[in-house]
Amino acid sequence: MSTLTLLASGDEFTPPGLELFDLPPIIPGVDWFTKPVLLALLSTLIVVVFCWSAFANPKIVPRGVQNVAEMGYMFVRDQVARPFLGKDADRWMGLLLSIFFLVWIWNLMGVVPVLQFPVASHIAFPIVLAVSIYVLKVYLGVKHQGPVGYFKNMMFPPGLPKAIYVLLAPIEFLSNMIIAPFTHAVRLFANMFAGHIILAFFSMVGFWFLFEKLTPLGAPLGVVGVLMTIAMTGFEMFIQFLQAFLFSMLAAMYIGNSLHAEH
């Protein structure tokens, strides 16, 4: 029996809360192996198989999987990589394409029947991905600009009165080194977390008033719950795509700023 069914059964309607994210281990005694971990591994496998099927033996005239993958490749190249990386875009396409597809599949798990759990709604997964990009960003900045040059370009943009640097330097440091990776992870997490709760709420309203407590007055509410579930699922799928795009776009921006001085 699903979590939603358990919440919607009983004498009173109970709206969904944090219990949606408190999932037991799939294998007893293996506490870390929960549903989000399984879906994260499944998402990785899907991305690997998809990209391997599309690009391992590409044809001159693309068909099937290769055709779909090339459309995704061109979208990431033109909308994510080239605007921020310029001539270096092709060099980083493997990473950016993988990030885009992985985050998108993570998110889509929230609307797949039976699975119905967005991986990124568990904060640990966006944090790991954002921290990985953050470490790469700092490494590339130090490598290409030098340790002094990297932090100088970050904290002391040229052409400003020197007195301004007293205020601007710590702000730039906090913004680039702490706030940026934090918001990179939290933006993805918060959208998937909120979206999952909203979908669960409307699903439970429909289930409760149409099946558990069917009354002449409650039936219209149940119908509204079902219609809102359908509408919000469509909207959530748009948000899922948008968050994958934004996450990969920010990754490209951070990499680009590290390869070349921002100011």
What does the pLDDT look like over 152-206, one tens digit per residue?
Answer: 988 988 888 888 989 999 999 999 999 999 999 999 999 999 999 999 999 998 8
Does 240 or 207 have the greater pLDDT score?
Answer: 240
What is the torsional sign of CA 22, 26, 29, 30? negative
pTM above 0.85, yes or no: yes
Determine the average pLDDT of the residues in 69-95. 95
What is the pLDDT, as a whole number, of residue 208?
84
Residue 92 has pLDDT above 70, yes or no: yes
